[in-house]
Structure 1
Amino acid sequence: MSPDRLLIRLGAAIHGIRGRVSGDAPLSSVTWLRAGGPASVLFQPADEEDLASFLQQLPDDVPVLVIGLGSNLLIRDGGFDGVVIRLTGKGFGAIDRAGETGIRAGAAVPDKRLAEFAAEAGLGGFAFYAGIPGAVGGALRMNAGAHGTETRDRVVEVTAIDRQGRRHVLSLADMGYAYRHSSAPADLIFTSALFEGVPTPVETIRAEMAEVTAHREKAQPIREKTGGSTFKNPEGTSAWKVIDAAGCRGLTIGGAQMSQMHCNFMINTGTATGHDLELLGETVRRRVRETSGILLEWEIKRLGAFLPGQAVTPFLD
């Protein structure tokens, strides 16, 4: 559906909202990989109430995609035919203490900011977030983790809005966490979460954060256009090890390359299309399967439509 036609259909949904609505909105500018096509409509709600009001009026057959900082996301070149909802710091970036050991953070709070806030409060258990790109919403959805700690180790409850605009409060058990996965309903839009920390000397937390940051700067291509780890770690090994063994360090297709520094990081060298990036990833999956017998699983989310004649067939076996 054309952006103009979709905007007309959304007349009731956008009447009276306080957030920002735009048609034919480029998504390459709001994702870390800087590639991909536009959204038919981009909606940036003013706050949780504004989001709920919009969803209550949104026709059921209009596809919805939710993004935050766009760090773990690959948009295909055909873009997204529907509404992309982007949670921004203005409406979802609040972070506050909650009792003696709790922190409530909005979905748009960067993971690094959550780590810093916890350090300032003398609450341990959050240092791992200092090395994770992205924001709280994405961390909640994928159970982001590093250095032996995961999001599920810190979450107490999560607030969300469903496709009909209803508000829900989910317990840790409701989130159904596993490695880089949550089984919470896919239509839920996480808006904030309550985390629990452990009272810890500030100097201890700062030392942990410094170690995490130093490791990231030394081992990861943080100054490149990248989406973080491309594939999940297979059981019993690391994704980069099997990628390296398959000869894929530095492998390049078009403007997309597996990083020379950390070969589980896919980067846009400057001219990569969504097609280049996804084809590179599937090529790596095939070569790893051929050399090690391991079938890598994507960690980066790939969404949207392919351009005609440019579909990338997933490598299955």
Structure 2
Amino acid sequence: MSTQEHVTCSKKNQDMRCGGENVAQQAMRSSLDRIKHKIVVLSGKGGVGKSTVAVNLSQALAMSGKLTGLLDVDVHGPSLPRLLSLRGERPQLDAGRLEPISAGPNLWVMSLGFLLSSEREAVVWRGPAKMKMIKQFLLDVIWRDLDFLVVDCPPGTGDEPLSVLQLLGPEAKALIVTTPQGVAVDDVRRSVTFCAELGNPVLGVVENMSGHLCSHCGQIENIFGSGGGEALAEEMGVPFLGKIPLDPEVVRAGDEGFAFLRVHPDGPTAQAMSRIVAPILGMAASPVGQPPLK
């Protein structure tokens, strides 16, 4: 093969590769354009109740009549099937694409947990495999025309949250969950910086487990301290959305597999969650891309 032929062949192969990438990017953009608002639930610390917040946020949006998708990208510990009594469910295929699992009116869920052969199966994947899975969950799941897509990420600033924010783009907003104590706030602070470095706005900080709500007298005891999340939000210059008490009924709801707000719409904990959800619901009344909070 002559040099000219080699150059022509190389350019042709490069054009084909670029064309393939463009087709994939266009398909992803077409899929994501059908979703009005993307919210990624993050925390730099494990055990802060991030998945519980994601589930109840999604349920509140759905109960308000908003078409809502809930995506679990925690590869190593997918918990949404348990939290929503969906263990054993299997997505159906429609023309090579996956149907998300219905979790009640206006709410659809997708999780790797639906695709594992058993609850004992360990997922041993490196970064590229995780990126591929997240791409498939965004592109090859039939999400329909959603008002909100809520993405529940594992703790930290590793492959999963990085991949999700990169794929969703700068219009995706982060909701960051912490508990009040300093050891959690120190790690969660890095999540705020992480979002700033990627160019994604922080919707706000939620302080979870902010005081223990006594089921007998209704008093709140600050066993983990109080105010750490609010102080973090002020320090980092991001909105503070509110505090959620540590309520035994929230724990029971998760263990039994239902969203707390669906069966306990009243009471101090429900009111605290509703105050957090209210400005997020306000996003639906604002033009897409316009910051809903000041």
TM-score past 0.5 threshold: no
Give 1 or 2: higher helix fraction.
2
RCO higher in 1 or 2 (8 Å CA, sep ≥ 6)?
2
- TM norm structure 2: 0.25
Q: Which has the higher strand share?
A: 1
